[in-house]
């Protein structure tokens, strides 16, 4: 007799795609961590950049996504630098540190 595997599509959708499911909760936790780290690493003159850093959960064509960023117009110049100014990255290092804090990245296959 052959073993049979049956997938519960509703349970899988709740697990991976639901905004209230465990995957979304972990994604939100990591996004909050990345946001907190980015605020700590952001260069400060007036505090405008630091206070503008935020995150949001959403969906794209592949499922749940988290976006962390700022709407301050000079942020890309600080993050990436210019011909006349060295980069002072804060988002990419925050993402790297936040990813290390994720239980997903620590799990083994």
| pLDDT, tens digit, 9 for 90 and up, residues 21-33 | 888 998 999 999 9
Tell me, yes or no, whether 23 lies in a domain.
Answer: yes
Full residue range of the structural domain in which residue 41 is found: 9-101
Of 98 and 104, which is predicted with more confidence? 98
- Residue 30, class by beta-carbon neighbours within 10 Å (0-12 exposed, 13-18 middle, 19+ buried)? buried
Residue 109 lies inside a defined structural domain of this protein: no
Residues in the chain: 109
Residue 77 has pLDDT above 70, yes or no: yes
Residue 65 belongs to a domain: yes
Domain-located, residue 3: no
Which are the contacts of 77, defined by CB distance < 8 A and separation ≥ 6?
85
**DSSP bridge partners of 20:** none
In a domain, 108, yes or no: no
What's the pLDDT band for 108 if we cut at 50, 70, 90? very low
Counted domains in the chain: 1
Residue 4 lies in a domain: no
Residue 20 vs residues 2, 23, 87: alpha-carbon distances, Å: 36, 8, 38
């Amino acid at each position: 007799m052959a073993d049979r595997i049956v997938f519960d599509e509703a349970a899988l959708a709740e697990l991976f795609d639901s905004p209230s499911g465990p995957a979304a909760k972990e994604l939100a936790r990591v996004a909050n961590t990345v946001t907190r780290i980015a605020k700590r690493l952001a260069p400060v003159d007036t505090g405008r950049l630091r206070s503008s850093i935020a995150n949001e959960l959403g969906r794209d064509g592949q499922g749940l996504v988290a976006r962390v960023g700022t709407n301050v117009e000079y942020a890309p110049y600080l993050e990436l630098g210019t011909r006349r100014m060295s980069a002072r990255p804060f988002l990419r290092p925050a993402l790297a540190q936040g990813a290390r804090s994720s239980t997903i990245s620590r799990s083994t296959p």
